[in-house]
Structure formats: C-alpha cells, structure tokens
A and B are shown apart, each in its own frame.
Chain A
Amino acid sequence: MESINFKGRDIISIRDFSKKDLLYVLSIAKKIERDSDATLLKNKIIALLFFEPSTRTRLSFGSATKRLGGNTIGFAKADVTSIKKGETLWDTIKMVEQYSDVIVMRHPIEGAARLAAEAASVPVINAGDGSNQHPTQTLLDLYTIQKEKGNLENLNIGFLGDLKYGRTVHSLVIALSHFNANMFFISPNALKMPKHYLEELKKKKIKFTEVQNLSKISKKLDVLYVTRIQKERFPDALEYEKYKNVYRLDKSLLKQSKKDLIIMHPLPRVGEINPELDDTKNAVYFKQAGNGIPIRQALLSLVLGKIK
C-alpha cells in the first residue's frame, strides 16, 4: 500500500479522512499489532488532556503510548486545571504544547478539538468533543469490522439504539459511506438518524433502510452496531424511562441472524446487550475495545512521523 505522510497532522474528525487515509491507518495498526517496536516513541511525551471523564479512551491512549516506550502527562478532570480559574482553551493549549509532542484531548464542548488544533503547533488528536466527533473510536470500529469480516466493502450493517445523539454512529456512518455499505437504522421514532446524515447518504448513493423492529431485518445483517440510550442526552427523565429498555438483545437474536453476524458496541453498555451473549463468537465488543490500542499506537506513531 502506498504510504501517506501523516507527520504533523491533526486527527480531529473522520470527515478529514479520505478512503485511502482510512485504509492506510488500518494497515499500520495491523502491522503494529503483529510486531510493535517498544522504543518507537522513546523520549516522546504525550499530553492526555481529559476535561471530561473517560475510562476506555484515556486508559487506552495511556497504554498505547507506554507500550511504544513513550511517556504521558495530563489530567483526567478539568477541575484540577486553570480552566477553573477562567483560562481560555486557547491559552491552555499554548501552554501544553510547550510540554509535549502530541496533545490528546477530550472536551465537553463541540468543536473544542478543532480550536485546539488551530492553537497548537504540535499534532492534536481528538479523543471526543462533546457529542460531535470521536475519530479514534471510528477507526477502531472500522479496524474491528475489517479484522472480523476480512474486508470493509459491501457489508450489510445495522445500527441500533440511539441514532439521534450517538456520535459513534454518526462518525461510523460517514466512514462506512466510503465502502458502499448497505445500512439499516433501527431505532424508536424519537431517536432516528438526523435528517442531514440521511441526505448525505442519498447524495453519495448509499443504500439505507430505517426500521423500528430489529427482527424484521436481522437475517440480512453482517454487522450489528449497538449503542446505549444515553440518559445524559435526555432533557426529561420520563422520556428516558420510556426508551431505555426499548432494545434488549439476548441469545434469541442469534436464531434469526446469519451465523457469522458480529455484534459490536462502543461501550459502556447498560441493559441493551444481555451478558449471556458475551461468550458467543458473535460478540466482539470487548475485542473491539482492545482494538483501540493498535489504532492509537498507529495514530501516535504516524503523527509523530515515526512510521511512514
């Protein structure tokens, strides 16, 4: 595969990636997973700025850095920083870039990552900006599909749950539109995919179907991407109660689906996937979380120019 120079590049939105870019990052992740060099990031300092709580993303960036011999600095809560004293994000970033070689940032405000990238002279990797983008999650989702299914082209992919607010779904839909996926959107009426995403798919001539009931289409699916109904997104607790248990997957799903269906979930899950599915070969959500390591190793190595 033709190499692409990522040195110095910011990783902010999946919209910034061409199909070639996506495939290239996945190929580097694969290489690193097979044979990683434990000194690749020696003497490099990665700043992990988590203005909002995160378990998986923060730990996996930390682990990815350390497995390649790099060091991390940072914080996991904004209330220990000068933000509390009224410092602007711009100033925080201008300060942190002096201390680090890459900035990884999660922030509750949408667009914060783009702004940070504009402020910083070192590469910025978006680890989630509010309900907007989480590109490293999307890349690890793609990597999981590619690993499990052998390729990314022409798959029947179902998205289930909160499609209105779920940023992981939105980004993955954009990414998969490069691979001629046939998409199925399964959600209650109140949590449907936003109209402008559907319009974008129509423009790109991507086939999609909206349904409320999974059993109607489950036989067709190669991949089922499940999301949590997010309590924090509902302005009204009563509304949340109405929807929280709409979908609860258990082993009965496997009777009405392809044998090699894979079930994915960005985690954390609450009640939408019964743990009885965990031991089946169809459930890949924990492997998916593990795939965050090679993807983040690949991205850190690429933006630092350590792999070309």
Chain B
Amino acid sequence: MKRELTVPAIKEGTVIDHIPSRVTFKVMRILDLKEFNHVVSVVINLKSKAMGKKGIIKVSNRFLTKDEVNKIAILAPHATVNIIKNYEVKEKINVNVPDELDNIIKCSNPNCVTNNEKVKTFFNVVNKSPLQVICHHCERVMETDDIKLI
C-alpha cells in the first residue's frame, strides 16, 4: 500500500520535527504564527519510536532565525529544524537552549517582582539538560515543568 504523507510537503519554509506532542501548540505560540499569512500545517500525536507521540509544524515561506530556533529548545530540546528550499532540505539546525531568556517565560514565583510590577522577565540558564533556569530578579530556580511562556 502506498503510504501517504499526513501533511503535504512544502516548497519553501521551515519544518520543525520531533516536538513533544503536548507542547506543539506552545511552540506555535513562541513563533507567533497567529497573524501569519501563509500556510502553516500542524500535526500532533504522530507515533514516534523515540518519543511516543510527537508533533510536527510546517511553516511555508518563513525561515526561522537562530534565536527563534533556540526559543523552541526551551520547550522541545530534541526538536529538529529543517530549512526547506524547493522541496529539499537545505539546512538542518540543531536546537540549542540559549544562555539567557529575555522576556520569554514567566517566573513561577507569585511573589516575584516580575509578577507584581510591570517588568520584563529575564532568566539565566543554569543547566541545559535537564533544563534549569534562575530568575534574574527573585533568584527562583525553575525546571522544565514550572516553565510557562509569557
């Protein structure tokens, strides 16, 4: 039987693969794709040998920057990002958690000044795997499960 692709291939753009299924929509939010005008395909709950269930996002006509890719790493440290040109993979970018997270995530400490005054958040990454970050303001250390995007 001929196997069919769940999502059609794209001509130009970016394919983000190996996203843990449950964070796929969060990755969408990081990339701010709501107002995007071109085709975006999202698949979740795909079977994966390595991950159980995974998600894929295909974004037409947009090439992610290194910064954007690194933001993805906060939620999906094992994601792979492929830049597609003329239906072919032109570049593979490994996601890498950045050393600093500037106004990307919220502090989980309700008594942190960033949750009580109008202030941007800033975190330093203490450990990349497993992810551990420290709030620049209140010094609360957070792990992956505590991390919420702004």
Contacts and interface: CB of A to CB of B under 8 A. Distances in A.
Contacts of A196: 132, 141
Interface size band for B: 10 to 19
Contact of A114 (B113, B116, B140): B113
A90 B139 CA distance: 19
A89 B117 contact: yes
Contact of B109 (A88, A90, A110, A114): A110
A192 B82 CA distance: 46
Interface residues of A, number: 19
Given A132-B138, A132-B139, A133-B139, A111 B132 contact: no
The interface centre, meaning the residue of A108, A111, A130, A133 with most chain B CB atoms within 10 A of its CB, is A111
A162 B116 CA distance: 27
A90 B116 CA distance: 12
Contact of A110 (B118, B132, B137, B141): B137
A110 B113 CA distance: 6
A13 interface: yes
A270 interface: no
Contacts of A130: 111, 138
A267 interface: no
A196 B132 CA distance: 9
Interface string B107-123: 10101111011110000
A111 B121 CA distance: 11
B141 A111 contact: no
B117 A114 contact: no
B135 interface: yes
Interface in B98-150: 107, 109, 111-114, 116-119, 132, 135-141
B118 A15 contact: no
Contacts of A111: 107, 112-114, 135-139
A112 interface: yes
The interface centre, meaning the residue of A115, A133, A194 with most chain B CB atoms within 10 A of its CB, is A115
A115 B109 contact: no
Contact of A115 (B107, B113, B139, B141): B113
Contacts of A90: 117, 119
A109 interface: yes
A114 B135 CA distance: 11
A68 to B, nearest CB: 30
Contacts of A133: 139
Contacts of B140: 110
Contacts of A108: 111
B1 to A, nearest CB: 51
Interface string A264-296: 000000000000000000000000000000000
Contacts of A115: 113, 117, 119, 137
Interface string A111-150: 1101100000000000001111100000000000000000
A110 B139 contact: yes
Contacts of B117: 88-90, 109, 115
Given A90-B117, A109-B113, A196-B132, A114 B137 contact: yes
Interface string B58-90: 000000000000000000000000000000000
Interface string A2-28: 000000000001010000000000000
Contacts of B107: 111
A110 B112 contact: yes
Contacts of B114: 111
15 contacts: A88-B117, A88-B118, A90-B119, A110-B113, A110-B140, A111-B107, A111-B114, A111-B135, A111-B136, A111-B139, A114-B136, A114-B137, A132-B138, A132-B139, A194-B141
Interface of B: 107, 109, 111-114, 116-119, 132, 135-141
Given A110-B112, A111-B135, 15 more contacts: A15-B139, A88-B117, A108-B111, A109-B112, A110-B138, A111-B136, A114-B136, A114-B138, A115-B137, A129-B113, A129-B138, A130-B138, A131-B111, A196-B132, A196-B141
Can you list the 5 inter-chain pairs with the closest CB atoms, starting with the nearest? Answer: A111-B137, A110-B138, A111-B113, A111-B138, A196-B141
